[in-house]
Structure formats: C-alpha cells, structure tokens
Structure 1
Amino acid sequence: MNSSKIPNYSSDSFKLLPFLTKSGVSIVFTIGLFSLFHTSNKILEGWKSLLPTVTSEIDTSRLIIQKIQGVSELTTTVFVMDAVVPTSSSRKIGDWVVGETNLLYLARGEVRAGLDLSKIDEDSIITEDNNLTITLPAPEILDSKIDVTESQVYDYDRGFLSLGPDVAPDLQTQAQRETLKKVIQSACQADILNQANEKAVLTVTQLMENTGYDSVDVKTTPSKQCKG
C-alpha cells in the first residue's frame, strides 16, 4: 500500500510565508491603486469633454474702443470770433414810424466741433494680418455759445425824444441769436469740421502707436453739417 509523501518543509520556508503574504497584498494593493487612478483619469476626461471650452482670448476691439473713448476731449476744435451785431425795433402808429430804438452789440461767439467717440463700436475696428483699421464717426458741431463775459451792449439809442420802444433785453437776445448764426457760418467757412477730423486722426494714430500692430490706418467719415 502506497502512502503519499508529506513534503518536507524547513523552518526557513515558514519564515518566508509572512513576507510573501505581505508582498502579495502590497502588489495587489498597488495594482488596485493604479487601476483606480487610471479609471479616475478616464472619468475626469469624460467630465472635461462635457464642459464648455474656456478661451483666454482678449477682446481687443473692446479694449481699443475704451482706449479711444478716453481721449474724446482731445479731438475737439474750438473756433472763436468777435462780431458787431446791430439790432433795432420801431414804434408805429398805423403805418407811421414815430420812434426807433437801435442797439449795437459787441459779441464773442464760440463754436466747438469734434467727434463723438462714444459712437465707435466693434464694426468700426478691423484687424487683419496684424494690421489695424479704425473708422471714425463723422465730425459735428458739438456746441455753440456766446461768451457773455466778453460780450456787451456797446450802444443803446431810443432816438429822438426817446420815442423808440424801451426793449433793450429783447434786442440783446436778438443780437445774441444773430451772433451765433454768424459765428457758426464763419466756423464752417474756416473748415472747422475738417480741422476736427485731422486732429482726431493724429490723436488716435498716436494713441495706437505702441499697440503692437504692423500698421494703423485711421479713416474719417464725411460730415453732413456745414453744407448748403
């Protein structure tokens, strides 16, 4: 009758058993961590694919617009003119003039023209092949006024026996209106709108010099004012 042999294990073999057990557990644990890390990466990549793409591109057009609008006051042109304006008013009885009042007004008028740079938008800015093109809005007369500190009534005469009507305030107001018309007309004849355009082109071109573009082209828009 054959009897099976019992393997002969030495005492040293039993000493290795705890080490092998621990090593096996360590290997299994390491493989588990690697698998978990690999799975987590796939999950994260899946989540990223669902999120919207965020770009770091800067809206250069908006920055350019803000920079230009900051120098709006530097693009204005001022026209100043002194004028002598006579006005008069008559007192009548029927068709007969019985008295006349004359007022002579020395006035200083001021016209300010320029470009409303707040009208610049993204459509006004074109960038192509590192070249920048800016189209400016049309120049316009922004303001006209009488400088009352430099204006005065030079002469006020109600005529023979002061029979003319005493209407100095009305005649002065009329003289100021006439002065403004003359000053605006003279400013237009002096090409104030083209001057405003030239000043704006120079200012905006200098402003854009150090923006990194190979070339900067500033274009103007014709004005509908000062015509006719």
Structure 2
Amino acid sequence: MSDLENANPNRSSRALWVVLVGSVLLAVFVVIVLVPTLLVRAGIWSFGNGTFGRITHIDTSATAVVEKIRQLSRLESVNYTVDKIVEANKDTPGVPNFLAGDRMLFIAHGDVIAGVDLTQLGKNDVQVNGDSAQVRLPAAQILVTRIDNTRSRVYQRTTGLLVPADPNLESQVRQVAEEQIRQAALDDKILDKARDNARVTVTGLLYALGFKKVDVK
C-alpha cells in the first residue's frame, strides 16, 4: 500500500473530529445565546420580571415603611400667601401727635407654610399586614411664617416735630404683621389643607411601594 493510501484514514479521522467539535460548539451557542434571545424577543422571558428572569423584592415591613416615610422629612404641603396692612402709633398723653406722635403704616406681604413633620412618625404609627398598610400621621402644623422683605414696605411714616423717630417701631410692626399673617392662614383652615395634602402624598408613596390597600389617617 502506498504512503498516500496510508495517510487517507488519518485525514478522515481529523475531518470527523473537526465536524464533531464544530457541531458541539454550534449546539452550545444555540442553547446559551440564540434560544434566550429568541425567548426574550417573543416576550416569554424577561430579565427584569419574567417567568425565568430575576424577581424584584421590596421590603415592605413596618420598619422599612417608617423609614421610607421619614425620608420625606418635613413635608411642606401648603404654601399660603397673604397681604396685611398694619398701623402703629406711639403718642404722649396730653401732647398732640403732630408734636410728639410717631405713626407708621406698614404693608406686609408674607408666606405661611404648613405641613407635617414626618420625622415624628413612630413605629407604632404604621401597621403592615401583607399587602395592606395603615398609617397614622403626626398632626399638621405651621412650619414657617415669614415676611417677604422684597415685597413689604413702610407705606407712610409720620413723626412729631418734637421727637425723633423710634428706631424700634418698624421691628415691632413686623412682629405684629407676622402674627396677623399666621392667624389669617389659620382662619383660612390651612392646617386642614396641609393634613389632606400630606395624606395624598403618603398614600401615593405607599402604593408606589407595592401595597394594594392603604389607609392613611
């Protein structure tokens, strides 16, 4: 038998091995890459939320819910704006005002912010039962009362001929104006509005956390 004839069996064996290895590699590629890709495109397999994909777990224990709500900190749910005109007079008994009086007319523009301080929320204020959550919020309160200096001004100031202007009169008027602005907001039920808005915000947060039944008081 010639050398060429002896070499043919070896070549045939190598060719067979190449075919087998190639078939195995192709099968691995189909199983690992091609099949999952087709499943994802067909909507059968979703990496984020599918039958064979990863499952998202959200901690909805009472402690976790308390921490999530506390992260809202001081929830400013209502911003109330009001203008007030405050008049102040200083006089000396028995002396006409044009001689010893001091009169100021002040126009105050102020803001009152109300809300709920959620950092006061305690563990006993949250009850979790499966996909249901009950929350008892802290009472609504006035968080900020301030005079807007850029929009407030002394409209008129009249001082008697015999006395200097009192340098403390304006600060006293501002304090009175701030208190009147705060009272006007309270009279307009700002705390009720703050409470209702806070309930809406916290209710939305609990639904976003995955609860199906929510009761916020």
2:61·2:128 contact (CA, 8 Å) conserved in 1?
A: no
Residue 163 (str. 1) matches residue 169 (str. 2): no
Q: Distance in 2 between matches of 1:75 and 1:175?
A: 27
> What's the counterpart of residue 80 of structure 1?
81
Quote how far apart the aligned CAs of 1:147 are.
1.4
Q: Match of 2:205, as an amino acid?
A: L
Q: Render the CA deviation track for 1:130-188: whole Å, top value 9, x for unaligned.
A: 321011000011121211121111111114xx234421x31111211111121111101
Q: Distance in 1 between matches of 2:76 and 2:159?
A: 46
Quote how far apart the aligned CAs of 1:125 are.
0.6
Stretch deviating more after TM superposition (147-156 or 58-67): 58-67
2:136·2:216 contact (CA, 8 Å) conserved in 1?
A: yes
Q: Distance in 1 between matches of 2:72 and 2:155?
A: 40
Gaps of 5+ in 2: 1-58
Q: Distance in 2 between matches of 1:59 and 1:200?
A: 20
> What's the counterpart of residue 6 of structure 2?
none
Q: Match of 1:155, as an amino acid?
A: Q
Q: Which has the larger radius of gyration?
A: 1
Q: If the length of structure 2 is used for normalisation, what is the TM-score?
A: 0.66
1:114·1:193 contact (CA, 8 Å) conserved in 2?
A: yes
Please give the secondary structure, in 1, of the residue aligned with 2:168: helix
Q: Match of 1:202, as an amino acid?
A: V
Q: Match of 1:72, as an amino acid?
A: S
> What's the counterpart of residue 201 of structure 2?
203
Residue 215 (str. 1) matches residue 213 (str. 2): yes
Quote how far apart the aligned CAs of 1:59 are.
7.3
Cα separation, partners in 2 of 1:204 and 1:59, compared to 1, 3 Å: closer
Quote how far apart the aligned CAs of 1:63 are.
1.5
Q: Match of 2:70, as an amino acid?
A: Q
Aligned-residue CA RMSD (Å): 2.1
Q: Match of 2:73, as an amino acid?
A: S
Cα separation, partners in 2 of 1:193 and 1:134, compared to 1, 3 Å: same
Identical residues among aligned pairs (%)? 29
> What's the counterpart of residue 105 of structure 1?
106
Q: If the length of structure 1 is used for normalisation, what is the TM-score?
A: 0.63
Quote how far apart the aligned CAs of 1:71 are.
2.4
2:60·2:209 contact (CA, 8 Å) conserved in 1?
A: no
Cα separation, partners in 2 of 1:75 and 1:202, compared to 1, 3 Å: farther
> What's the counterpart of residue 179 of structure 2?
181
Q: Distance in 2 between matches of 1:194 and 1:135?
A: 15
1:115·1:196 contact (CA, 8 Å) conserved in 2?
A: yes
Q: Distance in 2 between matches of 1:187 and 1:173?
A: 21
Q: Render the CA deviation track for 1:70-107: whole Å, top value 9, x for unaligned.
A: 22355431111111111111245xx4444211111111
Q: Distance in 2 between matches of 1:193 and 1:73?
A: 14
2:76·2:143 contact (CA, 8 Å) conserved in 1?
A: no
